[in-house]
């Protein structure tokens, strides 16, 4: 099952921040591949959503960027700023709390094997 883009939209910032926390320095393509790999292809981040989000994170000062030139190609690497690090913790715990609430609200029973 691939999740709908509506579901992913609200959590994309958190996903990107958490990945940067775990992997220190990443570029856009790497982020999409990493998410695919970690979720066994269940979550596929679209480029159309990823890059605008990265742009906003940069504008908000949560990530810093570095450009690496390789001939005509330029790769933009993203790293968490100190402010981004504390924001990541905040966002992850907010999402965890939200998921618990949803579980309760929708009365989802944890599947036992």
Q: Which residues pair with 26 in a beta bridge?
A: 78
The stretch among 17-25, 35-43, 74-82, 86-94 that binds another protein (CB under 8 A) is 74-82
Residue 99 interacting with another protein (CB under 8 A)? no
- Residue 29 as a binder of another protein (CB under 8 A): the answer is yes
Q: Closer to another protein by CB, 46 or 101: give it.
A: 46
Q: What is the DSSP string of 12-73?
A: HHHHHHHHHHHHSEEEHHHHHHHHHHHTTTS----HHHHHHHHHHHHHTTSEEEEEEEETTE
Contact between 24 and 8 under an 8 Å Cβ cutoff? The reply is: no
Cα separation, 70 vs 58, whole angstroms: 22
- Binding to another protein, residues 34-63 (CB under 8 A): 46-49, 51-56, 59-60
The smaller minimum CB distance to another protein, of residues 46 and 100, is found at 46
Which region, judged by CB under 8 A, interacts with another protein, from 14-22, 34-42, 70-78, 88-96?
A: 70-78
Sheet holding 73-80, edge to edge: 25-27, 73-80, 63-70
The residue among 9 and 42 lying less far from another protein, judged by its C-beta, is: 9
Q: Which stretches of the chain bind another protein, using CB under 8 A?
A: 27-29, 32, 46-49, 51-56, 59-60, 67, 71-76
């Amino acid at each position: 099952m691939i999740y709908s883009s509506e579901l992913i939209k609200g959590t994309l910032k958190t996903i990107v921040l958490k990945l940067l926390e775990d992997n220190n320095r990443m570029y856009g393509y790497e982020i999409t591949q990493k998410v695919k790999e970690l979720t066994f292809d269940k979550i596929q981040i679209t480029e159309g959503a990823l890059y605008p989000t990265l742009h906003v994170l940069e504008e908000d000062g949560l990530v810093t960027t570095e450009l690496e030139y390789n001939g005509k190609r330029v790769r933009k690497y993203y790293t968490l700023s100190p402010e981004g690090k504390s924001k990541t913790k905040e966002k992850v715990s907010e999402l965890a709390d939200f998921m618990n609430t949803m579980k309760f609200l929708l009365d989802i029973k944890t599947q036992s094997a």
